[in-house]
């Protein structure tokens, strides 16, 4: 139907339609730009988030050993199973399972049950008669390394939990809160397991990977 120029309403409609067609590309481009800015914002947020280490599973048969323990197989061969380290431990963290089903029959620590407290005397080392536990300074102890599990941590739910940091015997030399996240320092962490033992979540949101497991990965 031809447009009757004598009808003002038709003329207005004509110009409205023309204006709509004119700005349609601009509207489309604006929407595309908005989506692009939204995606860039998401990428920026991901870039700012800390890189989560892949979850590390502790192989079956690998146990946390007392501080100063010799390398795993040498420790098993040298230890006499006398139990003196068990008796000397002030925290009663060191155990021996005579059946061998736990700890392969030599001293071990189950950090969930009780962790090494890094006592001042490091008593277990001094009473070991076989040399399976070698006298070692606190900073040189390497029982393992703590690994933080962000997904289950209370901090990831917005709760201001700092128990693992506050209770660490080595303090900020081993672990700290950085940019709101738990940051374990591999060179400072000695793997005592206090953070694991005191973590309030179940399962624990921070666990110690024993040095035997770390060495097996190399």
- Confidence band of 47 (pLDDT split at 50, 70, 90): very low
* Lowest pLDDT segment from 46-50, 162-166, 180-184, 188-192: 46-50
pLDDT value at 18 more than 80: no
The mean predicted confidence, pLDDT, of the chain is: 84
Q: Is the pLDDT of residue 16 over 80?
A: no
* C-alpha dihedral sign at 200, 104, 80, 76: negative
- Give the range of the structural domain holding residue 149, as residue numbers without chain letter: 72-217
With bands split at pLDDT 50, 70 and 90, how would you rate the model's confidence at 34?
low
Give the DSSP H or E segment for 76.
helix 72-78
Give how far Cα 101 sits from Cα of 2, 53, 61, 71, 172, Å. 95, 31, 9, 20, 36
Q: Rounded distance, CA 98 to CA 95, Å?
A: 10
The total domain count for the chain is 1
**Predicted pLDDT at 215:** 74
Query: What is the rounded CA–CA span in Å between residue 14 and residue 5?
Result: 10
Query: Is residue 116 included in any domain, yes or no?
Result: yes
Most confidently modeled range among 50-54, 145-149, 211-215: 145-149
- pTM for the full model? 0.72
Residue 135 placed within a domain: yes
| Residue 17 covered by a domain | no
């Amino acid at each position: 139907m031809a447009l009757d120029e004598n009808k003002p309403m038709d003329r207005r409609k004509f110009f409205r339609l023309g204006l709509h067609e004119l700005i349609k590309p601009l509207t489309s481009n604006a929407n595309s730009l908005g989506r692009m800015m939204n995606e860039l914002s998401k990428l920026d947020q991901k870039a700012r988030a800390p890189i989560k280490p892949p979850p590390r599973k502790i192989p079956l048969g690998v146990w946390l050993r007392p501080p100063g323990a010799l390398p795993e197989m040498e420790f098993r061969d040298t230890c006499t199973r006398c139990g003196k380290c068990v008796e000397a431990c002030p925290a009663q963290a060191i155990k021996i399972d005579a059946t061998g089903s736990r700890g392969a029959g030599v001293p071990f620590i189950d950090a969930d049950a009780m962790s090494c407290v890094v006592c001042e005397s490091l008593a277990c080392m001094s009473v070991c008669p076989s040399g399976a536990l070698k006298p070692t300074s606190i900073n040189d102890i390497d029982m393992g390394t703590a690994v933080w599990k962000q997904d289950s941590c209370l901090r990831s739910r917005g709760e201001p939990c700092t128990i693992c940091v506050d209770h660490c015997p080595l303090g900020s030399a081993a672990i700290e809160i950085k940019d709101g996240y738990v940051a374990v320092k591999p060179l400072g962490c000695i793997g005592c397991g206090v953070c694991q033992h005191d973590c309030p979540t179940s399962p624990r949101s921070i666990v110690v990977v024993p040095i035997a497991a770390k060495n097996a990965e190399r």
